[in-house]
Amino acid sequence: MTGGLEGYDAVAEANAQKSVLAIHWSRICERLKVEVGEVEYRTWLRQITVGPVDEDEITLYLPTRFLRDWVRGQYGDRLGTLWNAEVPAIRRVELQVARPDAAPAEPAGEDAPTPDIPVAHARPPALAAAPAPVEEPRQAEVRSDLAAPLDPRFTFDTFVVGKPNEFAYACARRVAERPSSPGFNPLFLYGGVGLGKTHLMHAIGAELLREGRVSVAYMSAEKFMYRFIAAIRSQSTMEFKEQLRSVDVLMIDDLQFLIGKDNTQEEFFHTFNALVDAGRQIVVSADKSPSDLSGLEDRLRTRLGCGMVADIHATTFELRISILEAKATASGVMVPAKVLEFLAHKITSNVRELEGALNRLIAHANLFGRPVTLEATQDVLHDILKAHDRRVTIEEIQRKVAEHWNIRLTDMSSARRARAVARPRQVAMYLAKQLTSRSLPEIGRKFGNRDHTTVMHAVSRVTELMEQDPAFAEDVELLRRMLES
């Protein structure tokens, strides 16, 4: 279609070009979806509309400056390459801002200066004071000009509630139902990485928007800082402040990022006060409680702790199982309970890693059409599991085995010979031999000063039983995998 971009009369050319470009664009979109994933695609790229081609340059429109700058920074080059591959005559992509409802042929305004970092970096300050900014519609909606879009997966419905997070969840729900209630403003959520802080914040945003009542701005503290610095550079701090102070709900994620960034903290402090005084809601997250965020100005810490402070604790085994069950069910892939238990035992660090492991299993199952088994899990997650591995001690083995068969830990070293006790003890000895570098006499000593021949006997007996009894073999395998390093 290289030559098709020239040689028509004006109207015919425009129409022909439009429909041909649309075909190319839909093909590019398909590729982009595969490359960046459905969520990224929907968040950033779906809103692109195709404009005209002028010589070797195609214009693409995005509805807001923020989206335009983000897409330009993250996907600009890739878009150029993909267009060039489709239509060799196109060598450059120009991204412009246009209202979504405006005809693409009439972009709403020229390259306005933007207080956003991806462009602020690239743009010399001299250019920054250039033409009038694009008027953006002020609606009851997420301020995509101001903030990062919300991840549609992060809702209250998809958040699995358990002991470690039930309080934070309840507070988040409460704020979403009745923003700016006394006692809940600000809402300060804190906890370690990957435990659901961002998820809860997005869920608050999604809920408020569903109700269509307010304008919501969500951004990371890092982005807040970049935007603030960019606004200073482009001499648009007033505009930046006004924008921020015009939202009903402001959510700032990962506030710990502002430690040591005094000017940005100062700005945040003023924004914070202005909003709270005006009866708007603030939601903040951090990795520590306000009082533990040393390096944050005292007066800011004090104000942050004035509303509701809710922590998210490390996950428990039960919560990990519930989360895995929910996510496996949502995926439609059948994952056996044994596999879920295994993952919940092995990956205890945080939900993000747990989810990552399960997603990989599911992708694998979908790709190869094979059922998920413990074996396959071990294989597919080899690297992840290795990273979570640690050295196993005989004490741990004894504890796990005792738990598994519901006997007392002391029975591992007692003289009792009843089968219900002796068999698990033998398994523990077998596993100690398999998983540790201890010698037979050393192992014997840990099991109530037994002789090394007793350990030897246990090892061969368990090996024998595993060959005869597949259910028993599976039990032992499961234990081994849980403990293995």
String of contacts with ligand ADP for each residue 307-336, x by CB under 6 A: ----------------x-------------
Residue 377 to residue 337: CA distance in whole angstroms: 12
- Applying the rule CB under 6 A, the residues between 124 and 163 that interact with ligand ADP are 154, 158-160
CA angle at residue 22 from 20 to 25, to 5 degrees?
A: 115
Least distance between ligand ADP and beta carbon 318 (Å): 12
Chain centroid to CA 195? 10
Task: Write the DSSP string, 338-350.
Answer: HHHHHHHHH--S-
Choice between 276 and 358, CB closer to ligand ADP: 358
- Applying the rule CB under 6 A, the residues between 238 and 267 that interact with ligand ADP are none
* 147: helix, strand or coil: coil
196 binds ligand ADP (CB under 6 A): yes
Task: Write the DSSP string, 229-252.
Answer: HHHHHTT-HHHHHHHHHT-SEEEE
Q: Which does 355 bind (CB under 5 to 8 A by kind): ligand ADP, Mg ion, none?
A: ligand ADP
Binding residue (CB under 6 A) for ligand ADP from 24, 72, 199, 400:
199
Tokens 């958040």 belong to residue: 159
* 108: helix, strand or coil: coil
Residue 78 to residue 238: CA distance in whole angstroms: 34
H/E stretch holding 190 reads strand 187-191
Choice between 174 and 352, CB closer to Mg ion: 352
Q: Which does 323 bind (CB under 5 to 8 A by kind): Mg ion, ligand ADP, none?
A: ligand ADP
Specify the pairing of strand 281-286 against strand 187-191: parallel
Q: Which of 233, 239, 238 is nearest to 124 (CA)?
A: 233
Least distance between ligand ADP and beta carbon 126 (Å): 39
Q: Which does 351 bind (CB under 5 to 8 A by kind): ligand ADP, Mg ion, none?
A: ligand ADP
Residue closest to Mg ion, measured at CB: 198
Phi and psi torsions of 50, nearest 5°: -90, 130
**What residue type is 366 in one-letter code?**
N
Least distance between Mg ion and beta carbon 287 (Å): 9
- Applying the rule CB under 5 A, the residues between 191 and 250 that interact with Mg ion are 197-198
194 binds ligand ADP (CB under 6 A): yes
Least distance between ligand ADP and beta carbon 199 (Å): 3
Q: Which does 63 bind (CB under 5 to 8 A by kind): ligand ADP, Mg ion, none?
A: none
Least distance between ligand ADP and beta carbon 262 (Å): 25
H/E stretch holding 170 reads helix 166-177
Q: Which does 196 bind (CB under 5 to 8 A by kind): Mg ion, ligand ADP, none?
A: ligand ADP
Least distance between ligand ADP and beta carbon 366 (Å): 19
355 binds ligand ADP (CB under 6 A): yes
Residue 354 to residue 348: CA distance in whole angstroms: 8
How many Cα atoms within 13 Å fall on the side-chain side of residue 287?
11
Chain centroid to CA 302? 29
Least distance between ligand ADP and beta carbon 151 (Å): 8
- Applying the rule CB under 5 A, the residues between 180 and 199 that interact with Mg ion are 197-198
**What residue type is 301 in one-letter code?**
R
Contact indicator for 139, 118 with CB cutoff of 8 Å: no
Binding residue (CB under 6 A) for ligand ADP from 24, 123, 197, 433:
197
Q: Which does 194 bind (CB under 5 to 8 A by kind): Mg ion, ligand ADP, none?
A: ligand ADP
Binding residue (CB under 6 A) for ligand ADP from 78, 313, 352, 388:
352
Contact indicator for 164, 157 with CB cutoff of 8 Å: no
- Residues forming contacts to ligand ADP in the complex (CB under 6 A) are 154, 158-160, 165, 191, 193-199, 323, 351-352, 355
- Residues forming contacts to Mg ion in the complex (CB under 5 A) are 197-198
